[in-house]
Structure 1
Amino acid sequence: MQVRKSVLFIVYWHISSWKQSWVNIVSLFTNHLNSSIMNIVKSINISSFLVGLAFLLLPAVLFARDDASGQTTSDRIINAFYTMETVYPQQTLFIHIDKEEFLAGETIWFKAYLVNATTLEPDTLSTNMHLNLLNTNGDIVTSLLLRMENGMTHGNIHLPDSISEGNYEVIAYTDWMQNFDKRFYFNKDLYVFNPIEENFIRRSDLIRNRRFNRQLSRLEEQMQFAFFPEGGNMVAGLENRVAFKAANELGAGVDAEGILRDGHGAAILEFTTLHNGMGSFAFTPEPGVEYTARVRFANGEVKKVPLPKAESRGLLLSALQSDGHIMVSVQSNFDPATPELTEGFYLLAHTRGRPYHMEHFTLDNRAFQIHIPVENLPTGVSNLKLFTAGGTPVAERLMFINRNDIQDAVVLDHETHRTDGEDMISINLALNNFETKGSYSLAVVDASHPERDYRSNIASELLLFGDLGYRIKDPGFYLDPEAAKGPAAADLVMMTHGWKRFDMENILNNKFPEIVYGFPDGITLRGTVTPRSSARKTGQVNVELSIHQDDGIEIYSTTTDEDGNFSFTNLFYDELFMAMLRVDSRHDRRAMEVRLGGASFEAFQYSKNFQSRHLQVTSRGDDWERVPRPETVLKRRGIIQPRTAGTPSMYAQVDQVIYFDDIRDQYATVLDVLRTRVRGVRIVDGQITLRGPSSLFFTNEPLFLIDETIVSRSAFLGVSVRQIERLAVMSGPQSAILGARGTNGALLIYTLRGDSQRDITYDYVLKGFHAPAESFEAKIHTDQYARFDMDRTLFWEPYLELEEYGEFSVSFPSDENVRNLRIIIQGIDEKGRITFHDEVL
């Protein structure tokens, strides 16, 4: 007889799991009391926090069990999910970028949407977002720190004329996201064209581009194939549905067909791909028989791929969506009297980490079936998880639920007219079913082609791929209501992927993520004061921070702990700003020095993927010249001649010496001196290079030395100009004395000798929050877009101001070269309802 016990989930979710969640919160705060978890506490509104404590404490008293061992399996599962949602809430980040192809000299315009990964409501906890633009060498070309407000921020990245043509990747994340799987950072591939690079590209870069293309070609030609049994297990004696994926090594799906044969070579069935290299078939494997598929790919390559071995004693979880229900089936092929079967199983259905259905059941004649109404589940990826009575996960099946509740927009009318001698386009639009306020961005693009575009969008990322941590071609296709194969193809995506947000077994065993990063509010500067020649602890030392602004100086002060650690928090400054740290150089009659901890940057590696393109610049152009890249090189300035010989140097031959006696009061930082006094120096995006007489350009920075000791760039730039006697410059043949390390030249600082200064100051040039451009502006000639058959942005608005009923109007300049007017609207409201509209007028 089949036995079922359903759970009334809303009540159970909010009552039964309170106690264990509170236990987990206490444990979390205890384990991390002395770590950065305290930053989270500081960032939480105290009144909200106290209300939350009362909300948790009362049920913990009323419904407490003696201890955790008294919990049922369902308690453990529900409590684990509740703890993940309430104590370890995850985030999903989407960035609307105006387009995907750019020209050197253009500007990338973007708007970021940060939401709670479970509810999809705008996330209000995080205030800082990090955005990096990565090239194929893994170098960070641009790094921005952006301040978020109510889960939103926007900005722009200017691409210099000298940027190399090629593939780039946008990677973005918050501090809190660093505590979890890096696969859930936001990633977006872009391509930048530079039509003049061929005229100044270096030989080493040509070699690198050719090597990149060869590697890309090999990966494109190498095929891979995999089988994915439904539920994760092949079970002998039962009909199994098996999905498969054919792709190249870049992950791009490819067409393929094959024949499945048994161990004697007899053909069992034929199969072929349905969409993007994916397909499926159904058959009943016999016990003890091994099966092999002979797969032929579209390029003619043939592979033999073994089918996973069928279990002689296993469980088969299958599901089908039809007529507004998910029909779930669990079957077994072993003795019904087995204790594992008599104790029963638990079936859990959760979406984005929040359970919506849980059922305890036993098998009747080795089978169990249930219909779950789709209306009980939200749009998104639902995970059907099968557990044993003891709580061990044994099978999993993903289902994509599409309730067609993505909010759309409609173009009411549009016209071209002439105003003040300029051609203008005006568009009137409205959001469908507009109910609550939200945040929306608009890009109007002169599209090179009128065909529908299936690139990633806010709906595909938040609803479909946000929990998979996986890139797939044309993600928008699976949400297109007009795509006939869309639902079947989406189900194949579900069968060929797993749910990756967190590890189920870990959380069931109370192994939760380690919290290292919190929710910093503003910029935090951390550092350490240490004695120069003493083993004793630093003790408490006063530290003063001065921030120099155009309208004056702001001063902050703090005291170190006994180990000399200090921090300044809640700093809000934009772009580059100058900071000065001052400490008592003779505290407790001991000489002190300061080390400022730099910002912790993630190390990224560019991974070639199916969106990577072959690089176009593989040979020199007809107008190639041996000239530096077209970037600003500072002009030479007059050098004040020294009045004294100064401190002797082991490097007698230098190219330039700058004495500070006459200029010490004219400059605030070492960087100012480099910019205006040093010949041949180039400073681009904070990187310093020297142009010596024997070479025209360098790829790396020079060697930095203080009193003939090699130091880091930050330490070099941090020396106060009041402590410098002179600065020496070595480049070209003069730097040969430094060996291989001096290939790129050297900058040497010689400090003042003696103990004439009691207070030591350290000057830093720091990077603050990104200050976005006030308005959209395009400066590229239209003929360049036609040459590369690429889109151009005509209008960008990161924050649409909606009128009553969700209507809005925009006007922008136009010209006779507009080909196809494409409108892209993306956004989300305060309830987590997603808006996406993509239309070519």
Structure 2
Amino acid sequence: MKRYTYLLLFFVFVSLTAFAQRDSVPLNSIIEKAVKTNNDHPIEKIYLHTDKPYYAVGDTIWFKAYLTMDIHAPSELSKVVNVEIINPRDSVIEELKLPVANGTAFGNITLAGLNYRQGNYRIRAYTQWMLNYNTSYMFDKIITIGSAVDKDLNTNVTYSGNINDKNSKLNARILFRGTDGVALTSRKVDWRVEKNGDVILKGRGNTDANGYLSVWISPNKREDIIGGSLITAIETNTKKTATSAFTLKNAFNGVDVQFFPDGGMLVANVQSQLAFKAIQSNGLGVDIKGNIVDNQGKEVLTFASQHLGMGKVLFTPQPTTSYTANVQFPDGSKASYNLPRVAQEGISLAVNNANPHTMILQISASPNFYQKNKNKTFYIIAKNGGFVTFAAQSILTDAVNTAAVPKSKFKTGVVEVTLLSSAGEPLSERLVFVNHDDMLNIGLTPDKPSYATRGKVSIGVSAKMADKPVAGSFSVAVIDETKVPFNEDAETTILSNMLLTSDVSGYVEQPSYYFNKPDIKKNDDLDVLMMTQGFRQFSISDVVGGKIAGLKFAPEQGITMSGNLRKLNGMPVFKGAVRLMIPDRNYSAETTTNADGEFAFKGVVFSDSSKVTISARNNVDSKNMKLTMDAGFYPVLGKTENYPDEVVNIDSTLAPSIKNSEKQYQFNQVLKEVVVKASTIKKVTHQDYPALSGLNSFADHDVNMEMLSGCNNFLMCLSTALVGITYRDNNFYITRDYNNGNKKPVQFYVKGMPVDVNFLASITPSEVSSIEIFNSDGFSGINRMNNSNGVVSINMKEAPKGTKVSANDLKQLFPDPNVITFTPKGYARVRQFYLPKYDVSKSVQAADLRTTIYWNPGVITDATGAATLNFYNADGRGTYKAVIEGIDVDGNIGRKVVRYTVK
């Protein structure tokens, strides 16, 4: 693999004399370690360009994946991208595997009404290589989905009260309206608060004359409701009972204010910038103002936020003095916060980033520190895009030392600047954003200033870099913005993702604000953001200390199916013949096992739903051999840091899109539920299986089967659906026992038969009747027999009836151990975006209510940097928005937005 190391050393000597310390680490040694770390641990990034910022049930998500490495070059590592949709209960309900070509892949996901309902979902994308870094570089975005299907109720909720103030009353005020917009007045409402399947609170009330219901939360329950849901049931105008759920995890107000000294710490007698950030419990910033007082109560300075709760002030702390910030919030409430402790001596690195061409570095030492370390050597290391692009050696000759660094040393993006001692110990650190305004210059030129409905549109595309045409890969989306309005500052774009959010840890509110027509204020706001965010890449201290974790996962070059062949006595089969067959592709391949009985088929190409057979029958004594397949590895389904992007009131926020969806799919509604009264379907429980008769009559927990609606991967859904169960390292444990050190896993039973965890991935969720969880095994002896702790019974919809089965049926139930037939995850089938051609037929056609007018993930500019797009408008009048994003072969990225009018 070809790698490029962008290593540009620029040594700055503040003194003409050199000073060597016995405990010093040569600067070259630090740089060599950094280069080796980057070469051994190249970073991949992934970005998904979606056609719209949000959707309605029945829509299709069209997307293109851009996979890069190093400084945005198309990745040469991975050839497979995984894309997942995660529901509001943090369960994977749909997953796609896509082949990567030239650093890109594209696909689509249909939001079918049977699998999706209104709520805040997540779309996540990653490669297997990214699993070496936890979830750091995965693409993770909130996708809000509204619904007009079978809908009888619209709601709007507002919360009041401070979750951190014990004297504050907590209230959820809900407005209930019919789909016609008329308030549901004087209606009875049953409500309850649930958390982890348990009811914490419940009550009943009536809507007032305006359709409002107020739900008051008992003060002694405020801790219990965090992370819970408020569920209401009300009778609608159609005499049906409609249920609504409102999340409480970030509902009630509570503000956290943090202070971030420039360089990382406050040093006595050293003037520095002090940044601050005020965050509400919903993760969004809130504007504040206030003052800072010393421990004598004397006011030192005043401050006020400048953007989304962030701001900064110049501050010179005094020795042996502590400070408190008195803060006032927009609602008039107040709070006090202790500032970070003042170091009595130390050294700090400050960066002035205001000059567009030069970065000014300032090293300031307190008097005592300066006297102790006068004429000693210090290092400055700057990392950009994962590479060390600047290194400097400085002699501390004055208490304040400055140096100017040309920004030409860095690529556009986040730069981590670190001050180290000569022993390689990090002393101070600062993030800086360098913007050369050197993105691709992409042009989108419509052939007319305005168009008619269903009129033909031709848009010319041009791509240049420094006025020279470039060949690149782009994706284009055109939407009816009247039906899909959205705040551009809050969008996730290729610029905000690749250049900013993928390199800093923590949530960034309105990331595109900094890239939409940047000016002096936005650049200053971005500098404050850099002072309040963490760095996502390896820190220099970890690099110098050799603390970088080893690699567990290799880059996927294609789909690999691997396993093990052993004799029934457990001994591995060496040089055993293993054959793979995919009948619907008329494909077969053969391989042999190694000394450990392991085998692998690499680079296999097949589509989803293809049946695959692995056979070891062509071996001598094959009847005494057993095949097992390796289980796939799935990343942890942790909470997303982008939760502040979740929409609380979907009905009102997405109203134009939902209203259009109602018209668009009024003739394609999902069939109403049919209630069959002629017979009663018995619920299957563990008592239907003799092997489980020794368990208690009633389970400790029953899983609500609604939690599995829309679930595609049963194993992944169970990892979050099982109450009181912890999922770790591909095993399940009773949470309370696991936390107390008992690492014995739970034993699973399916249809009364013991199974391992890997078997769960083969279960079709729709065929499950019930799931029962037992914290103990009662009188069954299951735990002693299996060295397990706890039992989970998965009961299928058809219980054994004892009917006679044929020999062939028995063979299907008990297949030969040397043959495995299964349906692994293959490459997803990709649909082509439908483009109507209204000039072909003049006959009257149905209303065209599309919100996505055009989607093309395969726009390739030629050697002249040009391409042409042709499509037809829909029936919607108003403003249409065209967005193009993409990348060229050298890793230059770009984005362009144009609008045109349809009359």
TM-score of Structure 1 vs Structure 2, range by shorter chain:
0.7 to 0.9
Question: Which deviates more, 812-821 or 345-354?
Answer: 812-821
Call closer, same or farther: CA 1:454–1:807 in 2, change over 3 Å: farther
- Shift of residue 149 of structure 1? 0.9
Given the superposition, is the C-alpha separation of residues 348 and 631 from structure 1 closer, same or farther in structure 2, using an over 3 Å criterion?
Answer: farther
Query: What's the counterpart of residue 173 of structure 1?
Result: 126
The correspondence for 1:194, drawn from 131, 137, 147, is 147
Aligned to 2:541: 505
Q: Superposed, which structure 2 residues align to 1:363-512 within 5 Å?
A: 363-415=396-448, 422-432=454-464, 433-448=467-482, 449=485, 452-512=488-548
Question: Are 1:806 and 2:858 matched, yes or no?
Answer: no
Question: How far apart are residue 192 of structure 1 and its match?
Answer: 0.6
Q: Give the whole-Å Cα distance in 2 for the aligned partners of 1:822 and 1:381.
A: 30
RMSD: 4.2
Mapped contact 2:461–2:868 kept (Cα < 8 A): yes
Per-residue deviation, 1:259? 1.3
2:749–2:794 contact (8 Å) kept in structure 1: no
> Which residue number in structure 2 is paired with residue 229 of structure 1?
261
| Secondary structure in structure 2 of the residue aligned to 1:824 | strand
Give the equivalent residue in structure 2 for 1:725.
none
The alpha-carbon deviation at position 127 of structure 1 amounts to 0.2
List per-residue Cα deviations over 1:5-62 (Å, max 9, x = no partner): xxxx95769xxxxxxxxxxxxxxxxxxxxxxxxxxxxxxxxxxxxxxxxxxxxxxxxx
Structure 1 SS opposite 2:408:
helix
Q: 1:776 to 1:301 in 2, by over 3 A?
A: farther
Alpha-carbon distance in structure 1 between the residues aligned to 2:273 and 2:122: 37
**558 and 509 in structure 1: CA distance in 2 versus 1, 3 angstrom threshold:** same
Matches within 5 A, 1:716-795: 741=793, 745-746=797-798, 752=810, 760-776=818-834, 792-795=851-854
Q: In the alignment, is residue 121 of structure 1 matched against residue 51 of structure 2?
A: no
Equivalent in the alignment of 1:675: none
Q: Write the deviation string for residues 467-501 of structure 1: whole angstroms up to 9, x where unpaired.
A: 11333121111123354521110100111123221
Mapped partners of 1:195, 1:755: distance in 2: 43
Give the 3 Å change call, closer, same or farther, for CA 685–631 of structure 1 in structure 2: farther
SS at match of 2:41: coil
CA contact (8 A) 1:717 1:764 kept: no
2: distance between equivalents of 1:770 and 1:422? 32
Deviation at 1:564, TM superposition (A): 3.0
TM-score under structure 1 length normalisation:
0.74
Q: Which residues of 2 match residues 503-652 of structure 1 at below 5 A?
A: 503-532=539-568, 534=569, 536-549=571-584, 552=586, 554-584=587-617, 588=621, 591-607=624-640, 609-614=643-648, 616=650, 630=670
Over 3 Å counting, the alpha-carbon distance change for 1:250 and 1:502 in structure 2 is: farther
Q: Which whole-Å CA distance do the structure 2 matches of 1:205 and 1:829 have between them?
A: 54
Give the one of 62, 84, 91 matched to 1:139: 91
- Provide the rounded CA distance (Å) in 1 between the counterparts of 2:625 and 2:102: 43
State the match for 2:204 in structure 1: none
Counterparts of 1:756 and 1:826, CA distance in 2: 53
Q: Which amino acid aligns with 1:314?
A: G
State whether residues 427 and 809 of structure 1, in contact with CA within 8 Å, keep that contact through their aligned partners in structure 2: yes
CA distance 1:186–1:756, shift in 2 (3 Å) = closer
> What amino acid maps onto 1:774 in structure 2?
Q
Gap regions ≥5 residues in structure 2: 1-5, 11-21, 155-189, 195-227, 232-243, 653-661, 663-668, 677-687, 692-707, 716-746, 772-779, 781-790, 838-844
Cα distance in 2 between the residues matched to 1:568 and 1:633: 46
Offset at residue 705 of structure 1 (A):
7.3
* Equivalent position of 1:252 in the other structure: 284
Partner of 1:271: 303
> Aligned pair in 2 of structure 1 residues 261, 375: CA closer, same or farther (>3 Å)?
same
Distance of aligned partners of 1:765 and 1:282 in 2 relative to their CA distance in 1, 3 Å threshold = same
Q: One-letter code of the match for 2:230? A: R
1-side partners of 2:768 and 2:584: how far apart? 33
Structure 1 residues 425, 79: CA separation in 2 closer, same or farther (over 3 Å shift)?
A: same
Mark the CA change 1:414 to 1:469 in structure 2 (over 3 Å): closer, same or farther.
farther
Matched-pair contact (CA < 8 Å) for 2:384–2:415 = yes
**Unaligned residue ranges in structure 1 (runs of 5+):** 1-8, 14-68, 624-628, 637-648, 653-681, 690-702, 720-728, 786-791
Contact 2:463 2:469 in 1 (8 A): no
For residue 696 of structure 2, what is the aligned residue in structure 1?
none
User: Structure 1 residues 632 and 204 mapped into 2: Cα distance closer, same or farther (>3 Å)?
Assistant: farther
CA distance in 1, matches of 2:759, 2:258: 52
Equivalent residues of 2:282, 2:644 under 8 A apart: yes
Determine helix, strand or coil for the equivalent of 1:394: strand
Secondary structure of 1:752's partner?
helix
Contact 2:134 2:635 in 1 (8 A): no
1:99 partner amino acid: K
CA contact (8 A) 2:849 2:874 kept: no
The alignment covers a number of residue pairs equal to: 690
What is the CA deviation profile of residues 67-90 of structure 1, one whole-angstrom value per residue up to 9, with x for unaligned ones?
Answer: xx9994212221122112222111
Is the contact between residue 58 and residue 112 of structure 2 (CA under 8 Å) also seen in structure 1?
yes
The 8 Å contact of residues 730 and 747 in structure 1, kept in 2 or not, is answered as: no
Q: Distance in 2 between matches of 1:215 and 1:511?
A: 40
Q: Secondary structure at the match of 1:766?
A: coil
What one-letter code is carried by the residue in structure 2 that aligns with 1:122? P
CA distance in 2, matches of 1:161, 1:567: 39
> What is the CA distance between 1:426 and its match in structure 2?
2.5
- Secondary structure of the 1:598 match is coil
In the aligned structure 1, how far is the partner of 2:32 from the partner of 2:602? 35
Matched, 1:101 2:134: no
- Give, in whole Å, the separation in 2 of the partners of 1:193 and 1:72: 58
Q: Which residue does the alignment assign to 1:840?
A: 899
What is the identity, as a one-letter code, of the residue corresponding to 1:409? Answer: I
Q: Determine the C-alpha separation between the residues in 1 that align with 2:444 and 2:387.
A: 36
8 Å CA contact 2:92–2:712 kept in 1: the answer is: no
Which residue of the other structure, out of 868, 889, 901, is the alignment partner of 1:830? 889
Find the partner of 1:319 among 336, 351, 365: 351
- Tell me the residue number matched to 1:88: 41
**Segment drifting more, 255-264 vs 536-545:** 536-545
Cα deviation for residue 800 of structure 1 reads 1.1
- TM-score, normalization: structure 2? 0.69
Give the match's secondary structure for 2:864: helix
CA distance in 2, matches of 1:484, 1:740: 60
- Hey, what's the Cα distance between the residues in 2 that align with 1:479 and 1:531? 62
Q: Given that residues 165 and 617 in structure 1 are in contact (C-alpha distance below 8 angstroms), is that contact kept between their aligned partners in structure 2?
A: no
Amino acid paired to 2:647? R
How many Å apart are 1:566 and its aligned residue? Answer: 2.1
Q: Separation in 2 of the partners of 1:251 and 1:558?
A: 53
Distance 2:410 2:622 in 1: 69
What letter corresponds to residue 807 of structure 1 in structure 2? A
Tell me whether 333-342 or 282-291 shows the greater mean CA deviation.
Answer: 333-342
1:188 and 1:686, CA in 2 relative to 1: closer, same or farther beyond 3 A? Answer: closer
**Alpha-carbon shift at residue 230 of structure 1 (Å):** 0.2
Distance change in 2, residues 1:352/1:814 (3 Å): same
Q: Aligned letter for 1:806? A: G
2:104 is equivalent to residue 152 of structure 1 = yes
